[in-house]
């Protein structure tokens, strides 16, 4: 008894031709549908029968009819071709549907940044056609770095300060910071023209206890540092007492500036920028969720880049 060997593209093509012949009711009628001659159809049917080991149909003066085996092969062929179409549809859908999980760590107080590249990318990643679970962890930058390196986080957003060489970085933002005082502070009513470095240095200031670039450290070195804060929210608390001056990112201070509760001191001079980057492991494995997120961030940065 002959048995069917491997199924390749040619065998699938033969099954498709057989299906068309059956549905057209014979070789002659199938010529137009298939776009090949009756003799070519006959040869293909002979090839299929030879591979299967039995006759599929009767053709001749009595007309076209299926054998019992032909009827079963026709049904089996429908199942095969439907499965192939389903497989093709599933594969094509993968190109449009992203499934999985994204664990991302973000340092505090970035949500108010005007350039919302992370927010825009998360919006794209969680669009209705995708099936992605987002887990956000708000942590200090050193904790985020450790978690990305040990694999607990896929992606982190941290200042670009003293990062390990084992991390891949993607630039996100340059965050400007200015020196602020509260409305109840003596410097609030001073004009920038009356301010001197000596006068500013005579008032207690706040030292951040989180990583800073050299330009930021130099700006703090000129101040009278008498308090510290572990994050920007802590700095804001101390500034709002009216007892301290301190540096804050402009987007963090904006709510109090707009309410008349804070102002920047000598904004033209007393300022610095902190670059923020997205970090991933250099040796990470390919991952459609992470790759898509990075692509969406890059697209947001490109679309929303300031014009020259």
For the domain made up of 96-308, give the CATH fold: D-Maltodextrin-Binding Protein; domain 2 (3.40.190)
Share of the chain above pLDDT 90, in %: 50
Q: Which CATH class is domain 9-91?
A: mainly alpha
CA diameter of the chain? 113
Contact residues for 273 (Cβ-Cβ < 8 A; gap 6+): 174, 175, 176, 177, 215
Query: Which value, to the nearest 10 degrees, does the dihedral of the CA atoms of residues 143, 149, 150, 153 take?
Result: 70
Query: Mean pLDDT over residues 197-202, rounded?
Result: 92
Lowest-confidence pick of 51-65, 128-142, 215-229, 251-265: 51-65
- Range 78-91 average pLDDT: 79
Kindly indicate the confidence band of residue 192, based on its pLDDT and cuts at 50, 70 and 90: confident
Q: Which residue has the tokens 């190109």?
A: 95
Would you state the pLDDT for residue 247?
97
**E strand spans, the chain:** 57-58, 65-66, 99-106, 131-138, 155-159, 167-182, 204-208, 224-229, 246-249, 262-264, 271-281
pLDDT of residue 33: 85
Q: Is the confidence at residue 9, as pLDDT, over 90?
A: no
Q: Say how far apart CA 104 and CA 101 lie, in whole Å.
A: 10
Mean pLDDT, residues 231-252: 95
Res 53 pLDDT > 60 = yes
Task: Please tell me the pTM assigned to this model.
Answer: 0.67
Q: Decide if pLDDT at 109 tops 80.
A: no
Quick one: tokens of 167?
A: 């991390």
Could you state, in order of their start, the residue ranges of all structural domains in the chain?
9-91, 96-308
The whole-chain average pLDDT of the chain stands at 88
Average pLDDT over residues 226-236: 94
Count other C-beta atoms under 10 Å from residue 227's C-beta.
Answer: 15
């Amino acid at each position: 008894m002959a048995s069917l060997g491997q199924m390749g593209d040619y065998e699938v093509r033969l099954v498709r031709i057989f299906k068309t012949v059956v549905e057209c009711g014979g070789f002659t009628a199938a010529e137009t549908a298939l776009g090949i001659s009756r003799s070519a159809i006959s040869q293909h049917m002979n090839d299929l029968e030879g591979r299967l080991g039995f006759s599929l149909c009767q053709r001749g003066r009595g007309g076209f009819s299926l054998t019992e085996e032909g009827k079963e092969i026709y049904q089996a062929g429908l199942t095969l071709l439907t499965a192939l179409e389903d497989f093709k549809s599933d594969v094509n859908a993968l190109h449009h549907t992203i499934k999985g999980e994204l664990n991302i760590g973000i340092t505090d107080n970035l949500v108010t940044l005007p350039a919302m590249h992370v927010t825009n990318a998360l919006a794209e990643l969680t669009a209705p056609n995708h099936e992605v679970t987002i887990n956000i962890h708000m942590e200090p930058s050193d904790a985020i770095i450790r978690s990305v390196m040990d694999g607990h986080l896929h992606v982190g957003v941290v200042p670009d300060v003293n990062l390990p060489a084992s991390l891949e970085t993607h630039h996100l933002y340059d965050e400007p910071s200015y020196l602020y005082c509260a409305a109840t502070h003596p410097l609030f009513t001073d004009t920038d023209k009356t301010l001197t470095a000596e006068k500013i240095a005579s008032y207690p200031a706040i030292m951040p206890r989180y990583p800073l670039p050299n330009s930021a450290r130099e700006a703090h070195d000129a101040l009278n540092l008498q308090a510290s804060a572990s994050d920007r929210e802590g700095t804001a608390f101390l500034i709002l007492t009216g007892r301290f001056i301190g540096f804050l990112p402009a987007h963090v201070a904006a709510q109090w500036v707009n309410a008349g509760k804070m102002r920047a001191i000598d904004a033209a001079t007393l300022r610095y920028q902190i670059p923020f980057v997205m970090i991933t492991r250099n040796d990470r494995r390919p991952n459609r969720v992470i790759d898509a997120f990075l692509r969406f961030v890059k697209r947001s940065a490109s679309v929303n880049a300031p014009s020259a």
